[in-house]
Structure 1
Amino acid sequence: MSHALVVGGTRFIGRATVEELLESGYGVTVFNRGSHDNPFAADDRVDHLQGDRTASGDLGAAAALDPDIVVDCVAYKPREVRAATEAFADVDAYVYVSSGGAYGAEEVPKREGETALEGCSDEQATDDSPESYGPRKAEGDREVFAAAGRGVRAMSVRPTIVYGAHDYTGRFDYWVDRVVEHDRVLVPGDGDALWHLVAVENVARALRTVAEEGQPGAAYNVGDRRLFPLEEFVETAADAAGTEVETVTASPRELEGTAVDPDTIPYYRRYPHVLDTGRLASLGWTPVEAATAIRETVGATLERGPEPADGVPDPAEERRAIDAVTE
């Protein structure tokens, strides 16, 4: 039995990755600080090594477990990727979870090795702000490429916006709340805004596929094979929730006189963000259909109750904005 070490492993992407690896016959160890509840605490197929990845001794203890593959879900700074690729230099595959936000050029679609990545200053490399997230992930990719140049079997996976069960961001849940609790739902733009989404199961499958079949030094985009423009996504979510809503589209200019900032509404983007996933598909990656994943995520959200999303408009302000643009 192959042994997989998942750095992180108890929350969103990491949790789904552990489940995917178990289903594929791996023995799994999760390595983390133990700051969050461990959903695998009662599962004797999953070992837990508690430690801090930023402590060289703890990282060394993880490497001493001699895993076959390592999936790194929680490397947020370039120095963390560098330390991990050094510690796990002898594994069969080190897979770094990067981000579609690593791309620095607005192209449709964004392609690995063609679309320019974000630059990253020394200040950004050590910053924790959301504004530096893309640059930090891009610099992490460059650490992966450098490690591969040293002979490490290091690879990168770049998910776009992830949704699914156990998503703690509240972005998907925002829309579930709107289609369940409101008759009319505000959709910024003309309804055709396109921000590529990806089901967490598809990210987990990508991470396993890249670990097994990927090429050292390569990056692989991952996003659902079927893309939904925003209005169609809202209608799909409403259908999955068993409700009917009227979608009201409004341009940013129409919303200027209201208290609603369209850029704070989840999944709205003024310029399309689409990732080419052909390189990943060429490895044999088989994704869950987006419509199925959306339906299952809506069901999971309704079962546990929506998580609040930060920074989104107040529902009362949305209603006033809808009245303003439709009067």
Structure 2
Amino acid sequence: MNALVIGGTRFIGRHTVEELRSHDYDVTVFNRGNHENPFETVEHVTGDRTDPEALEDAAQRIDPDVVVDCVAYHPDEVRHAVDAFADANAYVVISSGAAYGIDAIPKREDETRLHECTDEQATDDSWETYGPRKAAIDRVVAAAGEAGVNAMSVRPPVVYGPHDYTERFGYWVDRVANHDRVVVPGDGDGLRHMVFVEDVASALVRVAEHGDSGESYNVGDRRLPILEEWVGLVADALDTEVEVVTANARELAAADLAPEDFPLHLDYPHVLSTAKLAALGWEATPIEDALDRTVRAFRESERTGRENGPERATEERVLGILDTV
């Protein structure tokens, strides 16, 4: 079986290549070549995924059985892709939990309303339109399924794990690794569903092999710790101890901070139902195992994630304010 991964050299795509290879696929990576290919034995085809002719050329040259699209951010990109790979056994694109347009607990694929997406939003690149664009991608997938193309999508929330270049989770690993007191916004009970990157990769392959045409599937950790618990779990993975100090909006404001300045904080819970994916036989990695691999890889890297949150000096101002209360 031949698999084509659009993207494939950085984070989710990199793990997807490894997952496909573990399932005995011959894998080809298709991207612009802006990042070093970490795989010595994986074929690389250079091309711009936003160019329909480049996608069609890749389809003819590789004739893939399975296509996993890791870098689709606009609905027109997916329209071109489902046309180019209409003859493949499966085309699976990464969507997002941000596609959901309302707050619900949990968000379910076939019940919870998606964002609307205007023509202007569909071609935008800002974070504000990210959710609407992913929702539009899911609608393209559904339409392709109705037209007879075996297209599907997978919706992850925030992804963490080895090779995470976003470093949102890395901020907290760095804090716990280097300090014995860490400020967590609010009451520490912010709840954001997360997912281990290897589980996203396994979900993509599972959906490609067993998913239903035109369908979307949520993917997320089986367990949902609140932010304060995440800090404690990171400390366990680092075999250290940390004191979590919670600070409300008023206390943070005294140091010119707000809760949203801290990565992964949410005021309202973001929770995805993963029952539909589990029905395909998919299972999540236990969080302790996922964090052990995540923390080890982070400490071996040169990343810190510090730019994603308050400077330590500002955090210490908050600690000083709280110590005098």
Give the TM bin, normalised by the shorter chain: over 0.9
Query: 1:297, CA displacement in angstroms?
Result: 0.4
Query: 1:309, CA displacement in angstroms?
Result: 5.0
Query: 1:57, CA displacement in angstroms?
Result: 2.1
Matched to 2:3, the amino acid is A
1:193-212 deviations in Å (ceiling 9; x for gaps):
11011000000000000000
| Matching residue of 2:44 | 48
Please give the TM-score of this superposition, normalised by the length of structure 2: 0.97
2:120 aligns with one of 110, 119, 123 = 123
Q: Kindly indicate whether residue 21 of structure 2 is the aligned counterpart of residue 22 of structure 1.
A: yes
Query: What is the 5 A alignment of 1:290-309?
Result: 290-309=287-306
Q: Distance in 1 between matches of 2:279 and 2:25?
A: 23
Task: Report the more deviating stretch, 152-161 or 187-196.
Answer: 187-196
Query: 1:256, CA displacement in angstroms?
Result: 2.5
Query: 1:186, CA displacement in angstroms?
Result: 0.4
Query: 1:325, CA displacement in angstroms?
Result: 2.6
| Matching residue of 1:222 | 219
| Structure 1 moving runs of 4+ over 6 Å | none
Q: Distance in 1 between matches of 2:84 and 2:302?
A: 41
- Say which SS state the counterpart of residue 250 (structure 2) adopts: coil
Please give the TM-score of this superposition, normalised by the length of structure 1: 0.96
- Say which SS state the counterpart of residue 253 (structure 1) adopts: helix
Matched to 1:55, the amino acid is D
Q: Which ranges in structure 1 are unaligned for 5 or more consecutive residues?
A: none
Q: Which ranges in structure 2 are unaligned for 5 or more consecutive residues?
A: none
Query: What is the 5 A alignment of 1:93-132?
Result: 93-132=90-129
1:146-185 deviations in Å (ceiling 9; x for gaps):
1111111110100011000000011111011111111210
Q: Over aligned residues, Cα RMSD in angstroms?
A: 1.1
2:163 aligns with one of 166, 174, 182 = 166
Matched to 1:48, the amino acid is H
Matched to 2:190, the amino acid is A
Matched to 1:32, the amino acid is N
Q: Is the 8 A contact 1:169 1:309 kept in 2?
A: no
Query: 1:53, CA displacement in angstroms?
Result: 1.3
- Say which SS state the counterpart of residue 94 (structure 1) adopts: strand
Q: Distance in 1 between matches of 2:267 and 2:160?
A: 20
Cα distance change on mapping 1:258 and 1:306 into 2, 3 Å: same
Query: 1:287, CA displacement in angstroms?
Result: 2.0
2:153 aligns with one of 126, 151, 156 = 156
Q: Distance in 2 between matches of 1:181 and 1:22?
A: 37
- Say which SS state the counterpart of residue 255 (structure 1) adopts: helix
Q: Is the 8 A contact 1:171 1:266 kept in 2?
A: yes
Identity of aligned residues (%): 58
Matched to 2:319, the amino acid is I
